[in-house]
């Protein structure tokens, strides 16, 4: 297992087995999802936002409604979350969302350089145990990829309810000279920016009365 993890990470690894998908969910993944899959032709559209790990898609739906002229790309590997988003896109009849239902690291091979205006990563899995820290999404490697696909002056929004992960994220951004930390200090990170809505994970954080942090970075070179 250790060897396997070493080779695959940070690509993806299986979490604990989940409840099997329902018939309806399977049908959405096999049929309806096709209409919303991202393909290379969509990438020619000039103005694009990207959300990584959209969960159940609440924020993606809000981005889509508020930015009708932009292409909103959502990347997620959690199938129940993907099916929930597809149902909502169809219900509200949104036209500007495209889904990439695979690991974000494979999407970086397709996205064009300097092509994304805003990137959202809301509550990336905190992996609180020390032995699992290496599974955390935000790493030197991820920042290198984000820098490549983000436009100059483009912004990255990250939220977390893990204080430990907060400092790890800040550490990685400080080491990377291509980004400017807009909040400037932790006390400026408590208020949710207008661009983001409450997600399922944030509701869980609220129930646990966890402190939440909203980070914002700008690509400066
Ligand atoms: C803690 S959940 C947060 C979900 C959502 N953003 C929210 O705030 O409710 C993190 C999500 O990131 C997704 N994720 C983790 N690693 C990923 C990867 N490499 N590529 C795409 N999605 C990933 C997980 O499947 C999970 O749904």
Q: Which residues contact 159 (CB under 8 A, 6 or more apart)?
A: 121, 122, 123, 192, 196, 202, 212, 213, 214, 215
Asked if 44 is an active-site residue, the reply is no
Question: Within 10 Å of residue 36's Cβ, how many Cβ atoms?
Answer: 18
The reported pLDDT for the residue numbered 17 is 59
Residue 25 placed within a domain: no
> Around 17, how many Cα atoms within 13 Å sit in the side-chain half-sphere?
3
The reported pLDDT for the residue numbered 81 is 98
Write the residue with the smallest CA distance to atom 1 of ligand 1: 125
| CATH number for position 66 | 3.40.50.150
48-52 and 213-219 as β-strands: parallel, antiparallel, unpaired? unpaired
Total structural domains within the chain: 1
Record the tokens describing residue 129, joined without a space. 């145990």
User: Could you read off the pLDDT of 72-122 as tens digits, one per residue?
Assistant: 999 999 999 999 999 999 999 999 999 999 999 999 999 999 999 999 999
The reported pLDDT for the residue numbered 18 is 77
Residues of the chain predicted below pLDDT 70: 1-17
The reported pLDDT for the residue numbered 5 is 37
Write the residue with the smallest CA distance to atom 11 of ligand 1: 53
The reported pLDDT for the residue numbered 19 is 87
Dist. CA 138 → ligand 1 center (Å): 12
For 187, the domain range is: 41-219
Residue 10 placed within a domain: no
Rounded Cα–Cα distance for residues 221 and 216 (Å)? 16
């Amino acid at each position: 297992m250790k060897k396997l993890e070493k080779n695959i990470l940070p690509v993806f690894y299986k979490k604990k087995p989940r409840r099997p998908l329902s018939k309806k969910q399977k049908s959405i993944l096999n049929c309806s999802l096709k209409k919303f899959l991202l393909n290379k032709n969509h990438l020619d559209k000039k103005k694009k936002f990207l959300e990584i790990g959209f969960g159940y898609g609440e924020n993606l739906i809000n981005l889509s409604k508020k930015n009708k002229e932009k292409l909103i790309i959502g990347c997620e590997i959690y199938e129940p979350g993907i099916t929930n988003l597809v149902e909502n896109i169809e219900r509200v009849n949104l036209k500007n969302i495209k889904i990439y239902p695979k690991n974000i690291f494979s999407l970086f091979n397709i996205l064009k350089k300097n092509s994304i205006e805003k990137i959202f990563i809301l509550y990336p899995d905190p992996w609180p145990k020390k032995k699992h820290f290496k599974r955390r999404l935000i790493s030197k490697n991820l920042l290198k990829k984000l820098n490549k696909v983000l436009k100059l002056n483009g912004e990255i929004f990250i939220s977390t309810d893990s204080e430990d992960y907060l400092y790890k994220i800040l550490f990685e951004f400080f080491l990377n000279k291509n980004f400017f930390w807009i909040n400037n200090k932790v006390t400026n990170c408590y208020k949710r920016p207008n661009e983001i809505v409450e997600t399922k994970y944030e509701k869980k954080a609220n129930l646990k009365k966890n402190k939440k942090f909203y980070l914002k970075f700008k690509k400066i070179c």
